Structure 1
Amino acid sequence: MVDKVLIVEGTSDRKRVKRVLDEPVDVICTYGTLSDEKLETLILPIEDLDVYILVDADEAGESLRKQLKRELPNATHLYTQKGYGQVETTPVEYLTQVLRGHFDVKEKL
């Protein structure tokens, strides 16, 4: 069973981080905001796992991050640089640096 979960916003973000990860990790997409229904189906089953949050460095991403901080207070928050904006456009080299130390990452891409 996978004991680490990484929450991202969309499928492009998921593809980007999976290029870098070198271990089995559940990468969950929120597809934007979290409704009460999504909270129950996405968040409740993972509350006791090691949860990491990596969302875009924009207004929508910050709003989602605030909501996730309330729902998952023990989650570890990871950040891309504001200059890169979105996770899907963050250079894989930088993404590797962000994820290293929390996840096993591929040394050569």
Structure 2
Amino acid sequence: MKFEKVLIVEGKSDRIRVRRVLAEPIEIICTHGTISPYHLEELLTPYEEHEIYVFMDADEDGEKTRALFKREYPLAIHLYTEKVYKEVETTPYNVLAAVLQAAHFEVRPEFLIVRR
């Protein structure tokens, strides 16, 4: 299966949570925390022709990794969770769905419903 979009997250829990919200098959890659420019290049070389989306935690490590992406891959599109949630894996599903939908990802409609 050929993917046009690649979503980069920090960890396995982030990938599992985001995959549950998505309604389209995309490649989701984990950085497993802060990485070096060399490892970043190695990780992304197979995806040079893809749209790259970066969805990091709103914490110090996430911001360091995001800064590396901005420097090394300036065309990458950055997605942000609200700082109140700090991590992608603790962000409510409906918030994840809204962020992903705003970035033109197909999301499962049940996650667009605001639960009270």
* TM-score range normalised by the length of the shorter chain: over 0.9
Instruction: Considering Cα pairs closer than 8 Å and 6+ residues apart, tell me whether 1 or 2 has the greater RCO.
Output: 1
Question: Could you tell me how far apart the structure 2 residues matched to 1:87 and 1:79 are?
Answer: 9
Checking the alignment, whether the CA contact within 8 Å between 1:8 and 1:14 is kept in structure 2 is: yes
Match of 2:114 in 1: none
Deviation at 1:39, TM superposition (A): 2.1
> Do structure 1's residue 94 and structure 2's residue 102 form an aligned pair?
no
Root mean square deviation, CA, Å: 1.2
Match of 1:108 in 2: 110
Deviation at 1:71, TM superposition (A): 1.5
Match of 1:12 in 2: 13
* Structure 1: 5+ residue stretches without partners: none
Structure having the higher Rg: 2
Question: Could you tell me how far apart the structure 1 residues matched to 2:82 and 2:32 are?
Answer: 20
Letter in 1 for 2:6: V
The count of aligned residue pairs is: 109
Match of 1:70 in 2: 71
Could you state the TM-score of these two structures normalised by the residue count of structure 2? Answer: 0.88
Q: How does 1:20-99 map to 2 (within 5 A)?
A: 20-99=21-100
> How much identity, in percent, do the aligned residues show?
53
Deviation at 1:36, TM superposition (A): 4.4
Checking the alignment, whether the CA contact within 8 Å between 2:21 and 2:108 is kept in structure 1 is: yes
Question: Could you tell me how far apart the structure 2 residues matched to 1:40 and 1:81 are?
Answer: 28
56-65 or 28-37, larger mean C-alpha shift: 28-37
Checking the alignment, whether the CA contact within 8 Å between 1:9 and 1:30 is kept in structure 2 is: yes
